[in-house]
Structure 1
Amino acid sequence: MSARHHPALPYRPEIDGLRALAVLPVMLFHAGFGLFGGGFIGVDIFFVISGYLITAIILAELQAGSFSLLTFYERRARRILPALCVMMLVCVPLAWHWLDPQDLKSFAKSLIAVPLFSSNVLFWRETGYFDTGVELKPLLHTWTLAVEEQYYVLFPLLLMAGFKLGRRWIVPLLIVLALISLALAQRGAAADSSAAFYLLHARAWELLVGSFIAFHYVRKPFAESAPVTAWQQLGGPAGLGLIAYGVFGFDHSTVFPGLNALVPTLGAALIILCARRGTWVGALLASRPLVAVGLISYSAYLWHQPVFAFARNSSLVAPAPLTMLALTGLSLGLAWLSWRFVERAFRDRQRVSRGQIWRYGALASVMFIGFGVSGFLGNGFANRFNVDPALMSAFEDPDIRSACDVNYDGQGWGIDFCFFGAPKAQASSQVAVFGDSHSEALLPAFDSAGKRLGVTIAHLGVGGCPPLLGVDVVVGNYSPGACANLAQRQYDYVKRNGIKKVILVSRWTLYTDGDYDHERMTGYFLVNGDSQVRSKEASRAVFAKALETTIDAYRALGVQVLVVAQVPQQLANPKNLYYRLARETAESQAQKQATVDALSVSLGKHQQLQEFTRHLFAMDDQQQRIRLVSLDDALCQGQSCLIGDQDSYYKDYNHLSAKGVTRVSGDVAQMLMQ
């Protein structure tokens, strides 16, 4: 993510200091420290630095007539591949030991993608950068390397062509390309598209910002001995302020990248242009501690994510903040070792020849791709442990709607109704179940009870969309308008078909509170025509209004409304817990149950998370506007809401598994009978 010092460029220690300002916030963000909620912008700073340094080198060599594509890619290989391959090599045995088959299969796919510099495409297809669970992916951070290498496949060719066809057109052409890229980034970010975050088309403009600085220095070369100007004295602090604003003011809810990414990119650009010897920002960035971190910044970036990910995978509960701080220090220690014994060694052409760097790189790539293919085809090497293969099937997503969703594109718009229970012709009444993925989790119980009672149940819902009229979800799963459209379709179906009972099921706190111990929400904000604010307070206000609007609308049709309160949400990862217990063959069942009990969420913590939504539901229930249904009695005992017994009641932190659904089947049947 940064270039080796080149004879064509004067060494500027403040650039190394800027690298430190880029990597430290990224590390602290990934460590989970809320203060650094915008730490992800460190990546944007790296892009600007890289664009500046690499372009400056290319331009200097093109002007001297000495530029060679082979030499250029050799430098990139020496810079990127050795430390990357060592990090991946260490990850393989850790993944083999810690990851269950499903997670190892996912890791195997990333082993294939990283050597091909396509991991950004893989992670775009798999998950959003801020989604739950991404912190468990050891190689997630390699998406940035993929973006850079894709850029540097094309960019030198473009500059070479520009030098041959007419240099005066290069900068105007690059400006046009940068503006197009920025427009695509803004459009994608506004639509909450993960493609805008991961893919080159929406990130190229950030690298081009650095390239424009290099073009500026072609016209007016950097001179260390030149007097410091007032512009430089002011520009450095302004750049530092922009970066600080992004790090401490942004978070998951920030529309990003796009126009908001101008904050860190322009901040980095101002520092590169203005921070120099004689300015206080230049002196700060050239200080020995920051320069020391900057020198190892590439290796620090490489090591921190797998260190954090494997720590989280090896722990049944989230590591404590002090643990994550210690792991940050460990990452920096590993980074120094990598810089000292790997990076420096492979940059030395006297020790490692051009042929060797290509051979080593090719051999390592083939090895990783081969292991990745084997792991993917072997379903994560499920035979590593003497564990019943059926164990993992309990944590798979339900497929009860699969026949109805054959033609569904996954975008939230075209999903169709699905019918369960008794065949329509035999139905004594009809019920509609609407909601997000929590409603789908309960469908097996509705289907079984409906068949037994002769009731047909219509279902419509997708994950991340609450069944509330007049609201939409931003920083969620779908493009703007998808959730609002779905809720309207649900209402129209009830009105058109004369449905007399509607059951609303959802992970309600996702849209009002976020998660345990989070002071502010980071996604799934509710908005409407009156409020587009992305905050917990605004989302709660929209939720309260939408709940009343939805209840009123259904009651006006003469419909009985039942609201199913959210099931208890767990703190420990059930899949990791039960897989770990299955491997502990020496423990008795009583010992294993004691572990499950100890890791189950307390009743008090469960009630605290749901206090806001349950209060609203209880008031409507007291006024007989709805009937509130709680599943707590079936899932909680004493002061604990259990994860399970011999089998897990949950397939993940908050969705019930087949065993959990069986426990609440009596409550589900009661909903259909009353």
Structure 2
Amino acid sequence: GLAAAGLLAIAAAVVLFDGRTPFPGLYALVPTVGTALVILFAAPGTLTHRLLSLRACVGIGLISYSMYLWHQPLFVFSRYLFGLPQGSYLFLALTVLTLLLAWITWRFIERPFRKKHFRVRTVLITAAAASIGILTLGVNLPKQIRPAFDALDLQTQWQGWTKCYPFGTREEAGGRCSILDDNAAPTSAIIGDSHAQHLAFGIREVFADTTENPIIFVSGGCFPVVTKGREIDGFMQCAQDFIDKSIAYAIEDQGIKQVVLSGYGVWELLRRRAHEPEHLDPAEIEQRQALLLEGLQETVGRLLASGKQVLLISDNPEMIHSPVHCSTRAAGWFGKCPLRLAREDVDRSLREMDQIIEKLKLSHPELHVHDPRAVFCDAEFCYSGTAAQSWYRDHDHLTPAGAVRLVEDAVGRPE
């Protein structure tokens, strides 16, 4: 019974643990204690012993070390070269290839070497020669492939993020971060989390040759609402009242005429990616909706009352798989690039935030709201880019090209 319990514990860890399982931690005891139970109690005659003594199980055990050595480069390089998500058909084929290569290695290298004896001098000379060869390759190979990787980075990374600290100025919300000109007075402000930050390149591109001088207040995970101490398990809280101070700064500066608010609303509200299973109960979601609406009402109300024009940019569509894979050379051989999602699925994933925004617009009809679905979607699908250009750098953040598209549509390119 103890041996069987151990085997079930190992199986449970394989089947039930995923990327959201806290690890390392107490969960690590499930497979490790299970393994200990099997080692201690799977004696001859037990069901577990008979199961693990099957020819297939013994065979996998014999080649398991070779499998371990082979699977890492096969899976890593295939993911890097072909950009396919885990779980694709290619990964199933790689599993079969791993088994085949492991058997070949075990049969023609591992077994023969176990029976041979080598002089220490031979081993040392061989190891030294191999090390020199690998080091030479490691030093020179990047010089050959670096240009191709740099070109890929230009398509997929944020690029052009001025000199601003990437996660905002938490310590001094009043320490403005200019996108264009440090020495000129600011004319507009962008406030929010990383979904405000990825707009920076687009703003710089669109307003480069104008008299506009936007400044930006961003801090990762800080949704653009004043908080006033409201909190549910960290909900709507931001270190050192960063958003509250940023809003106050924008209100007090009379030269700032427009304030743009942008944030990752789905994550703030549901604490999950848009297409992941629900893990909050409906009552808590409803409570969080009410609090988030209240925070937005107060934030927008304060800004409008101070005479500012307010633009709220709602959530952009979120991709299930990282679209950066489509920028790799071989991605198109095995997958559909650019990625696309059914429009109805995207609308469903944004339903709770849409409800908040509709109520917010009823209370503040002078509020301008821009929906990025107008840029990245048509009536049937939402897209990660075109065959020649990626608009996303990961599941939910935009590339420079995507930021330019969104900013041009949201605020227009000045004449």
Same fold, TM-score > 0.5, yes or no: yes
**Is contact 1:603-1:641 (8 Å) kept?**
yes
**Is contact 1:446-1:669 (8 Å) kept?**
no
Q: Aligned partners of 1:637 and 1:471: how far apart in 2? A: 37
Deviation, structure 1 residue 257: 0.9
Where does 1:224-263 land on structure 2 (aligned, <5 Å)?
234-263=1-30
Deviation, structure 1 residue 546: 5.1
Q: Give the one of 367, 370, 375 matched to 2:136.
A: 370
**Would you say 1:380 and 2:129 are equivalent positions?**
no
Deviation, structure 1 residue 238: 3.2
Residues 103-147 of structure 1: CA deviation (Å, up to 9, x unaligned)? xxxxxxxxxxxxxxxxxxxxxxxxxxxxxxxxxxxxxxxxxxxxx
**Is contact 1:495-1:557 (8 Å) kept?**
no
**Would you say 1:457 and 2:215 are equivalent positions?**
yes
Q: Aligned partners of 1:396 and 1:569: how far apart in 2? A: 17
**Is contact 2:83-2:328 (8 Å) kept?**
no
**Is contact 1:430-1:457 (8 Å) kept?**
yes
Q: Aligned partners of 2:16 and 2:123: how far apart in 1? A: 42
**Is contact 2:190-2:196 (8 Å) kept?**
no
| Structure 1: 5+ residue stretches without partners | 1-233, 474-480, 521-534, 585-594
Residues 577-621 of structure 1: CA deviation (Å, up to 9, x unaligned)? 45539999xxxxxxxxxx856x54443444344344334333433
The letter of the residue matching 2:295 is: T
2:179 corresponds to: 420
Q: Aligned partners of 2:341 and 2:323: how far apart in 1? A: 11
CA 244–542 in structure 1, closer or farther in 2 if over 3 Å, else same:
farther
Calculate the aligned-residue CA RMSD, in Å.
4.2
CA 361–439 in structure 1, closer or farther in 2 if over 3 Å, else same:
farther
The letter of the residue matching 2:369 is: L
2:241 corresponds to: 488
The letter of the residue matching 2:156 is: F
Deviation, structure 1 residue 353: 4.2
The letter of the residue matching 2:407 is: S
1:610 corresponds to: 350
2:53 corresponds to: 286
Residues 156-188 of structure 1: CA deviation (Å, up to 9, x unaligned)? xxxxxxxxxxxxxxxxxxxxxxxxxxxxxxxxx
Deviation, structure 1 residue 576: 5.0
Q: Aligned partners of 1:501 and 1:431: how far apart in 2? A: 6
Residues 443-476 of structure 1: CA deviation (Å, up to 9, x unaligned)? 13334556635354232223x5544655699xxx
Residues 283-328 of structure 1: CA deviation (Å, up to 9, x unaligned)? 3223322222122222222223333334444546547655433432
Give the total of aligned pairs: 394
Residues 247-290 of structure 1: CA deviation (Å, up to 9, x unaligned)? 33332222211332222222222222222113322232233222
**Is contact 2:158-2:201 (8 Å) kept?**
no
The letter of the residue matching 1:488 is: D
**Is contact 1:398-1:441 (8 Å) kept?**
no
**Would you say 1:635 and 2:393 are equivalent positions?**
no
**Would you say 1:442 and 2:191 are equivalent positions?**
no
2:155 corresponds to: 394
Q: Aligned partners of 1:247 and 1:412: how far apart in 2? A: 42
Residues 351-391 of structure 1: CA deviation (Å, up to 9, x unaligned)? x4444444333333332232222234x173437xxx9x756
Q: Aligned partners of 2:121 and 2:310: how far apart in 1? A: 72
- Local SS of the residue matching 1:459: strand
- Local SS of the residue matching 2:261: strand
The letter of the residue matching 2:197 is: E
Q: Aligned partners of 2:27 and 2:87: how far apart in 1? A: 31
The letter of the residue matching 2:68 is: Y
Residues 372-426 of structure 1: CA deviation (Å, up to 9, x unaligned)? 22234x173437xxx9x7564232332424x232xx8x89966975223566754
Q: Give the one of 364, 376, 384 matched to 1:624.
A: 364
Deviation, structure 1 residue 624: 3.0
- Local SS of the residue matching 2:158: coil
The letter of the residue matching 1:439 is: A
TM-score, with length taken from structure 1 = 0.50
Q: Aligned partners of 2:214 and 2:146: how far apart in 1? A: 42
2:314 corresponds to: 565
The letter of the residue matching 2:360 is: D
Q: Aligned partners of 1:612 and 1:259: how far apart in 2? A: 34
- Local SS of the residue matching 2:316: coil
CA 316–268 in structure 1, closer or farther in 2 if over 3 Å, else same:
closer
Residues 67-109 of structure 1: CA deviation (Å, up to 9, x unaligned)? xxxxxxxxxxxxxxxxxxxxxxxxxxxxxxxxxxxxxxxxxxx
Deviation, structure 1 residue 442: 0.8
How many percent identity over aligned positions? 25
Q: Give the one of 99, 105, 110 matched to 1:338.
A: 105
Residues 610-647 of structure 1: CA deviation (Å, up to 9, x unaligned)? 34433433343344386431123333345344413644
CA 657–298 in structure 1, closer or farther in 2 if over 3 Å, else same:
same
2:293 corresponds to: 548
**Is contact 1:299-1:335 (8 Å) kept?**
yes
**Would you say 1:659 and 2:412 are equivalent positions?**
no
Q: Aligned partners of 1:412 and 1:286: how far apart in 2? A: 61
- Local SS of the residue matching 1:380: helix
CA 371–662 in structure 1, closer or farther in 2 if over 3 Å, else same:
same
Q: Aligned partners of 1:319 and 1:239: how far apart in 2? A: 28
1:80 corresponds to: none
Q: Aligned partners of 1:306 and 1:509: how far apart in 2? A: 36
1:361 corresponds to: 127
**Is contact 1:505-1:565 (8 Å) kept?**
yes
Q: Which has the higher helix share?
A: 1
Q: Aligned partners of 1:433 and 1:318: how far apart in 2? A: 33
CA 639–238 in structure 1, closer or farther in 2 if over 3 Å, else same:
closer
The letter of the residue matching 1:243 is: I
CA 647–259 in structure 1, closer or farther in 2 if over 3 Å, else same:
closer
Where does 1:469-618 land on structure 2 (aligned, <5 Å)?
469=227, 484-486=237-239, 488-495=241-248, 498=251, 502-510=259-267, 512=270, 514=272, 518-519=276-277, 535=279, 544-545=289-290, 547-555=292-300, 557-559=302-304, 562-570=311-319, 575-578=324-327, 580=329, 599-618=339-358
Q: Aligned partners of 2:218 and 2:168: how far apart in 1? A: 14
- Local SS of the residue matching 1:339: helix
**Is contact 1:395-1:651 (8 Å) kept?**
yes
- Local SS of the residue matching 2:157: coil
Q: Aligned partners of 2:5 and 2:402: how far apart in 1? A: 55
**Is contact 1:422-1:454 (8 Å) kept?**
no
**Is contact 1:431-1:456 (8 Å) kept?**
yes
**Is contact 1:235-1:271 (8 Å) kept?**
yes
**Would you say 1:404 and 2:164 are equivalent positions?**
yes
**Would you say 1:433 and 2:172 are equivalent positions?**
no
Residues 507-539 of structure 1: CA deviation (Å, up to 9, x unaligned)? 44456485576446xxxxxxxxxxxxxx35589
CA 611–346 in structure 1, closer or farther in 2 if over 3 Å, else same:
farther
The letter of the residue matching 2:263 is: S
CA 466–252 in structure 1, closer or farther in 2 if over 3 Å, else same:
farther
